[in-house]
Structure 1
Amino acid sequence: MMAKPFGAGCSAVPADGKGSFSGMATDPVATAASNNPVLSTLVTAVGEAGLGETLNSAKDITVFAPSNDAFKAVPKATMDAAMKDPKGLLTKVLTNHVVEGRLTPDKLAGDHKTLGGGTITVSGSGESFKVGEANVICGNVQTANATVYIIDGVLLPK
């Protein structure tokens, strides 16, 4: 059996319904995220970039999903620039949060090549991980095609 989701931020995930852990497990990742109120800003950005179908049809990926609060912490000028360039800058930012393969917590630490062509470094172990400077606040969330780690920061590409 798969390990359960972990982290202090998991308490913000609905207890039941489509946005709950059990509800998310039956849907592909973009659809699952759209049902989770913690990820509404991410879902809006994915929609603007036209990446929903790409994420939903991907096989076995890991998504480091910034929470709504993570997006609020990004400087307004940076967010505005990304949203004005959905097929360029926004897509580059969003694909910097996705890696191939479903990473379990025991395989999470290390360097991972992103779908955007960059590399992200995950450090930590057990139930305490950092992705670059961002903390995993709710990890090991399962969807039909992805493992999701909700993080408290946006991973801006270099």
Structure 2
Amino acid sequence: MKFTRMRTARATGAALAAVPLALGGLASQSHAQGASPSPSGTFGPGCSSLSQKADTARDKVVEAAAAYPELSQLVAATVRARLSSALDGKSGITVFAPDNQAFKKVSASQLAALLKNEGQLKKVLGYHVVGQRITPDQLSKGSFTTVEGGKLTTSGSGTHFKVNGKANIVCGNVKAANATIYVIDAVLKPPS
């Protein structure tokens, strides 16, 4: 009887220890109550489906994004636009990072044309970056100037937010050494 209780206690302890590891070590930061994530940690309906590296808080933003296979298209576009050094060199920024599904929503011909035009690609990618760290508390009715020079807005509440009224934040408040990352499900178009 004592052996069974001890084995059950070990198994329960191991299972409880595995949960934060399965969530990329971010669960311990969120101080989650029940099933609802806290706005101070990562949040959003897509966080559980992201293949997360244990901790990106020490990585510069491009390396942090590269740790997530779901952001591979964005990382490739950033490298193609020669923006890696510029983004990694900035401090205290926010990146609204389109996931691979967002890039699939762009037609193949539009995406090919964008990738061939380095100037336009820089403009589009720059529109996804804000020159300050944005906290989840600022998302409910936010208006921010991007490094590209345009304005973008955020709206929503709880753990459900939109950018420019169309892109959903699928996983937010992911930390990098010099940035906060909000993964979104659409590629944003800068104002003309």
Show the counterpart of 1:157: 190
Q: Matched residues in 1 for 2:157 and 2:134: separation?
A: 13
- Structure with bigger gyration radius: 2
Show the counterpart of 2:129: 98
Give SS of 1:45's match: helix
Give SS of 2:55's match: helix
Gaps of 5+ in 2: 1-28, 31-39
Q: Matched residues in 2 for 1:118 and 1:7: separation?
A: 26
- Conserved in 2, the CA contact under 8 Å of 1:24 and 1:143? yes
Show the counterpart of 2:37: none
Alignment of 1:67-82 (within 5 A): 67-82=99-114
Give SS of 1:11's match: helix
Show the counterpart of 2:84: 52
Q: CA RMSD in A?
A: 1.3
Show the counterpart of 2:20: none
TM-score of the superposed pair, with normalisation by structure 2: 0.76
Show the counterpart of 1:136: 169
Show the counterpart of 1:85: 117
C-alpha deviation, 1:25, in angstroms: 1.3
- Conserved in 2, the CA contact under 8 Å of 1:32 and 1:143? yes
Alignment deviations for residues 25-50 of structure 1 (CA, whole Å, 9 cap, x no partner): 11011111112101000000000000
Structure number with the bigger relative contact order (C-alpha 8 A, sep ≥ 6) is 1
Q: Matched residues in 2 for 1:103 and 1:110: separation?
A: 9
C-alpha deviation, 1:137, in angstroms: 0.2
Q: Which has the higher strand share?
A: 1
Displaced runs of 4 or more, over 4 A? none
For 2:175, give the aligned amino acid: Q
| Identity between Structure 1 and Structure 2 (%) | 48
Q: Matched residues in 1 for 2:160 and 2:152: separation?
A: 16
Alignment deviations for residues 113-151 of structure 1 (CA, whole Å, 9 cap, x no partner): 000011111111221110011000000111111111000
Q: Matched residues in 1 for 2:70 and 2:57: separation?
A: 16
Gaps of 5+ in 1: none
- Conserved in 2, the CA contact under 8 Å of 1:105 and 1:125? no
Show the counterpart of 1:8: 45
TM-score of the superposed pair, with normalisation by structure 1: 0.91
Give SS of 2:181's match: strand
For 1:107, give the aligned amino acid: Q
Q: Matched residues in 1 for 2:142 and 2:117: separation?
A: 31
The number of equivalent residue pairs is 152
For 2:154, give the aligned amino acid: V
Show the counterpart of 1:124: 156
Give SS of 1:130's match: strand
Alignment of 1:13-24 (within 5 A): 13-14=50-51, 19-20=52-53, 22-24=54-56
